[in-house]
Structure 1
């Protein structure tokens, strides 16, 4: 009986199956077929064929390190952590048997003195709880997104109505503008007429001192054959000249001229007011049209961000993001710097609404103009989660908002966490 047991044990120790289990470490199940016990082993990059006994012998034979998946012999090698109950993953082969537990199942320290407890089950349970919380947040975010889409539709309608009202106001102001221009021209014409009446042409007969109605050089009196308007003009001239001697009174001091100038000034002031109002309305129309031309998502789910700014303090700086407008940075002394103006969406083709770009900010000292990239992530609140400056004059922000939640986000969370 004892002899039979020893023979069975010897057979198991010498069988290829046992040799494979004992010798082949750090290989995933999908690659196990390439490490079956045979006479030779082909490096995965096809560069070399070596005897199979040289696999995991702590000497690097293949340039890609594929012959030493379970040792630290190859600098570019990888060790596969099985991590049953948790997520499997690779670690650099340099970490194998280095006295630090990198795999949660402890499989990377099989020959070291370090006793690594198996924590995979505990980590798996913790991650599943976190996944459940994440899924609850995503589901809540999707519900909030539906509300934002409904609110966005109302905001969009209000903006359209506001545009119509502004355009109607601009048309009314345009009519008033033409009317005030005519009034100004009329007041200027009346003033010019009165000035001519007060100050007769020095080259005319009257300007040479002749009395009205007297013929030149003592001749017979002239009879006015002009129009009624011409007669009234002369009568007005005579009356004004009797009251105010042109030789002693400046036309600017004449009360009639002053009154005419006052009418001109009033017409000019009223015209200027209407012009300013018209220009202001046209500017509002232009700004509103520009906003309405923006892309706010396939269901306009991001429209609600139009009138909302979010802030975050990092160290001594206050960062303010106003979506579809600008990004600024203010220090403790109150100095504000523009970090970029809204430029457009910059996400990948399959998720274009995952990143915003803000450029043409203020120039750095001896550097380029500042710019900011804003990544959008799903969340139940709309606020900034992080602000960084990964390189000079380039800033990165993470904005969480329900508007960024989607079914793809939900599927991605499941795929990444499990």
Structure 2
């Protein structure tokens, strides 16, 4: 037989006429559903039962709404009135379990546990904490207003500065055009004079090299070392036979020597060498020529095919490719080149002066562009609803435990050992990360240094009201995911009236 408990109340019935009495464990906001003049309907609408079956220690409703004051329903919740402190809910399973969960002891009404009502003591302590928080909020709010006013003033100054820089940039660009034209105008005669000087030096160097080569050739031709090159000695170099009839006659050799039977070095250099230098082969040229033929013969022996026509063609091509060694390029040593003449040096000085002026203005333009870019970036950043966080930009704040953590708002967060050493990036600025309606209560920094065989490090910075800006802690709740807490006046709000939630019974 089912045992029905009496209708249980937290306290005496209310004296106000028509007020609905509240069963044990029911919050004031739900008392309207427990009208003693009507049957009770489960909150989910699944069942309607007589009112005397509410709090009868038997779970009739699936949503546990019929047993707010007992532990009959595992999914139920008991409302602690906690007069003098703040109301709360506990799981129905904790009702009459011998442990006092409500500070007013209403959850242990039938367990025989001697619970003291500690609500007023807790409320007093809570009020003290709230009072301190209120004072901090008031002082922080004053600082916040100052920050907002200062940020507004600085922002206007920076906007004005940005306009000035943009105007300056335009002026510098115009000046650069003029200086660029002047520079190019000064460089033209400079380059022509330098090229003329270098060409003269190159020709002189070439003449010296040709003279040295002529001496080498003369000494090679002068086999008997008598200081003269004779017809016979010329005939020994068949490559000088101009008609290529395989007959290098004495008369042909004598023609090369200008009609003489023998000539000295001076005559050879002045008149003969320029006519034979392209055909003449030094002993080194002949040796190289022979080695080329030897290499060609060896390579031909390794071919996999021996077609006669192809062998002839290859032989012809090889002869062309080996041929007569081409004249080597002139090696002009500019380190030993003589100084420029006074006129050229004057042109160089003028051009260098024009270049210096252009480079100076060009550097100034780059600095101005950098300043514009930095200002544009700063002015476009989200520093809060009223720019209250703008004061943090460009600053860094530290907290130390086993490591030193440095937060540079809107830039990055780094970690380093106390004794120094390399730094570890815990994330760079990404976005505000607070909940909807309060997004400026948290910051997100991601893309930090990758953990060993893990993700990239990231950090969430939770912000709370404080009179000063200070990082209070940094922990690592999960691997590579850090949590930093920071106090700042920028999040302080107008404090509400000091009050502790409680039931008015």
Give the alignment of 1:2-401 within 5 angstroms. Answer: 24-37=23-36, 40-160=39-159, 163=162, 168=168, 172=172, 175=176, 178=180, 187-200=190-203, 250=333, 252-257=335-340, 263=348, 270=356, 278-314=365-401, 316-332=402-418, 334-401=421-488
Residues 258, 356 of structure 1: alpha-carbon distance in 2 compared, 3 angstrom cutoff: farther
The structure that has the greater radius of gyration is: 2
Q: Give the SS at the match of 1:337.
A: strand
| Shift of residue 141, structure 1, vs aligned partner | 1.3
Q: Is the 8 A contact 2:131 2:498 kept in 1?
A: no
Q: Is the 8 A contact 1:155 1:304 kept in 2?
A: no
Q: Greater shift after overlay, 370-379 or 112-121?
A: 370-379
2: distance between equivalents of 1:92 and 1:152? Answer: 49
- Equivalenced residue count is 362
| Shift of residue 93, structure 1, vs aligned partner | 0.9
Q: Give the SS at the match of 2:393.
A: helix
Q: Provide Cα deviations, 1:77-100, integer angstroms capped at 9, x if missing partner.
A: 111111111111111111111222
Q: Greater shift after overlay, 179-188 or 327-336?
A: 179-188
| Shift of residue 161, structure 1, vs aligned partner | 5.7
Gaps of 5+ in 1: 1-13, 208-246
Q: Is the 8 A contact 2:427 2:459 kept in 1?
A: yes
Q: Provide Cα deviations, 1:1-52, integer angstroms capped at 9, x if missing partner.
A: xxxxxxxxxxxxx997989979932112232333344685322212233444
Q: Provide Cα deviations, 1:363-401, integer angstroms capped at 9, x if missing partner.
A: 233333222222322211111233333333333323221
Q: Is the 8 A contact 1:20 1:36 kept in 2?
A: no
2: distance between equivalents of 1:122 and 1:20? Answer: 21
Residues 248, 373 of structure 1: alpha-carbon distance in 2 compared, 3 angstrom cutoff: closer
2: distance between equivalents of 1:273 and 1:416? Answer: 69
Larger relative CO (CA 8 A, sep 6+): 1 or 2?
A: 2
| Shift of residue 63, structure 1, vs aligned partner | 1.5
Give the alignment of 1:392-411 within 5 angstroms. Answer: 392-407=479-494, 410-411=495-496
Q: TM-score, normalised by structure 1?
A: 0.72
1: distance between equivalents of 2:102 and 2:160? Answer: 62
Q: Is the 8 A contact 2:467 2:489 kept in 1?
A: yes
Q: Is the 8 A contact 1:356 1:373 kept in 2?
A: yes
Q: Give the SS at the match of 1:344.
A: strand
Map of 2:219 onto structure 1: none
| Shift of residue 183, structure 1, vs aligned partner | 5.1
Cα RMSD between the aligned structures? 4.2
Q: Is the 8 A contact 2:9 2:23 kept in 1?
A: no
Q: Provide Cα deviations, 1:232-268, integer angstroms capped at 9, x if missing partner.
A: xxxxxxxxxxxxxxx9995542323599799599679
| Shift of residue 279, structure 1, vs aligned partner | 4.0
Gaps of 5+ in 2: 14-21, 211-329
Q: Is the 8 A contact 1:16 1:37 kept in 2?
A: no
Q: TM-score, normalised by structure 2?
A: 0.60
Map of 1:228 onto structure 2: none
2: distance between equivalents of 1:339 and 1:142? Answer: 31
Q: Give the SS at the match of 2:89.
A: strand
Map of 1:223 onto structure 2: none
Q: Provide Cα deviations, 1:277-322, integer angstroms capped at 9, x if missing partner.
A: 65455334323321221122333222211132111124x2222111
Residues 367, 180 of structure 1: alpha-carbon distance in 2 compared, 3 angstrom cutoff: farther
Q: Give the SS at the match of 1:194.
A: helix
